[in-house]
């Protein structure tokens, strides 16, 4: 659709002198604001699909060319792709939805296991066993609440941990003299790929019910291979060094995430611990 440009050369947004189709100061297009409905809808549709086309292009390159988007950003070629932060947020939404769906359908409830001595238990032993079983079930319920909160807050946790992840790569590649922001951009792309991979992996058990354990190992291996290829492409070190650093980085990232999950699981336990300890102390002793 042909756009109707204003003959006036003053920018309607900032008042600066316009020498072309766009204002050099604020970037606003010097088009006539009194356009009809068809022009308005046409411009919106064109702008929407122009922006929307960046998403599939960026996602395809992210999945098929490890490190390519990061190098493009480092070298200043950015207009053709969605911003790394927007890409991360877009994939994070899909990941959180997939994780919540998986967690609801495949969460394994804990089973309280209480071991008693051999032989027929006495009435007092049965009472004590029931008391301990009740306490264990309560603790497992609190841990489950913490895990649910962890998955609900995962999008915020992953975002807040990005600077830590970037710092890990800055330490591993400190001799490359890269700015911290370069490592942060790589971390955004790497975690975007990881979330996309895990989101797809968590949907596979819905198609193949007994594939959970195999999918976990395949997911970890694919992530390691992807990280190694992207680090090799970006930093140009030898394969042995790249593989070792990939394993170290993966281990640190998983460790940080597991520690965060453990903290979430332990928070609901803290207020209940004094009462639980008191109840166990009141249990009849043999």
Q: pLDDT tens digits for 108-127?
A: 554 544 444 455 666 666 66
Regarding predicted confidence, which is higher, 244 or 35? 244
Residues 187 and 205 in one domain: yes
Looking at the fold, whether 87 and 196 belong to one and the same domain comes out as: yes
| pLDDT score, position 244 | 92
Whether residue 231 contacts residue 198, with contact meaning beta carbons closer than 8 Å, is answered with: no
Query: Could you tell me if 44 and 93 lie in one domain?
Result: no
Residue 45 has which token pair?
């549709």
Residue 196 forms part of a structural domain: yes
Confidence band, pLDDT 50/70/90 cuts, at residue 36: low
Please check whether residue 65 is in contact with residue 59, taking contact to mean a CB–CB distance below 8 angstroms: no
As a whole number, mean pLDDT of residues 170-199 equals: 91
Number of domains in the chain: 2
Q: Which domain holds residue 98?
A: 58-281
For residues 88 and 13, state if they share a domain.
no
- Assessment of whether the complete model's pTM goes beyond 0.85: no
Would residue 286 count as lying in a domain? no
Say what the pLDDT of residue 40 is.
53
Query: Confidence band (pLDDT; 50, 70, 90) for 100?
Result: confident
Q: Which residue has the higher pLDDT, 210 or 58?
A: 58
| 3-class DSSP state of 205 | helix
Q: Which residue has better confidence, 119 or 221?
A: 221
More confident residue, 180 or 134: 180
16: in domain: yes
Pair 47, 70 in one domain = no
pLDDT bucket at 286, cuts 50 / 70 / 90:
very low
The answer to whether 128 and 284 have CB atoms below 8 angstroms apart is: yes
pLDDT of residue 115: 47
In a domain, 34, yes or no: yes
| Domain identity same for 135 and 44 | no
Residue % of the chain over a pLDDT of 90: 22
199 backbone dihedrals φ, ψ, rounded to 5°: -60, -40
CA 100 to chain centre: 13
- Residue 38 and residue 123 in one domain: no
- Please check whether residue 201 lies inside any domain of the structure: yes
CA 189, chain centre distance (Å): 10
High-pLDDT (> 70) share of the chain, %: 76
Same domain, 35 and 78: no
Q: Which among 94, 100, 109, 227 has a CA at the least distance from the CA of 172?
A: 227
Do 82 and 200 have their domain in common?
yes
* Cα separation, 109 vs 156, whole angstroms: 26
29 three-class SS: strand
- Decide which of 119 and 72 is more confident: 72
**Is 24 within a domain?**
yes
Name the residue with higher pLDDT: 177 or 243.
243
Q: What pLDDT, on the 0 to 100 scale, is given for residue 112?
A: 47
**Together in a domain, 178 and 275:** yes
């Amino acid at each position: 659709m042909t756009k109707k440009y204003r003959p006036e050369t003053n920018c309607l947004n900032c008042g600066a002198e316009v020498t072309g189709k766009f204002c050099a100061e604020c970037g606003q297009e010097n088009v006539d604001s009194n356009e009809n409905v068809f022009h308005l809808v046409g411009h919106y549709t064109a702008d929407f699909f122009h922006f929307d086309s960046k998403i599939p292009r960026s996602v395809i390159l992210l999945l098929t060319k490890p490190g390519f988007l990061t190098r493009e950003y480092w070298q200043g070629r950015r207009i053709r792709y969605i911003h790394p932060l927007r890409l991360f947020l877009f994939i994070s939404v899909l990941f959180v939805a997939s994780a919540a769906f998986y967690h609801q359908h495949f969460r394994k409830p804990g089973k309280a296991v209480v071991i008693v001595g051999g032989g027929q238990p006495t009435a007092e032993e049965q009472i004590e066993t029931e008391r301990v079983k009740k306490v264990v079930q309560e603790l497992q319920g609190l841990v489950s609440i913490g895990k649910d909160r962890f998955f609900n807050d995962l999008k915020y946790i992953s975002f807040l941990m990005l600077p830590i992840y970037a710092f890990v790569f800055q330490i591993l590649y400190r001799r490359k003299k890269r700015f911290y922001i370069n490592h942060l951009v790589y971390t955004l792309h790497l975690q975007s790929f990881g979330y996309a991979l895990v989101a797809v992996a968590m949907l596979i058990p819905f198609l193949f019910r007994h594939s959970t354990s195999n999918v976990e190992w395949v997911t970890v291996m694919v992530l390691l291979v992807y990280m190694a290829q992207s680090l090799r492409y970006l930093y140009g070190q030898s394969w042995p060094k790249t593989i070792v650093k990939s394993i170290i980085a993966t281990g640190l990232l998983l460790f940080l995430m597991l520690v965060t999950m453990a903290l979430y699981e332990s928070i609901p336990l803290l207020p209940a611990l004094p009462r639980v300890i008191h109840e166990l102390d009141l249990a009849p002793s043999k």
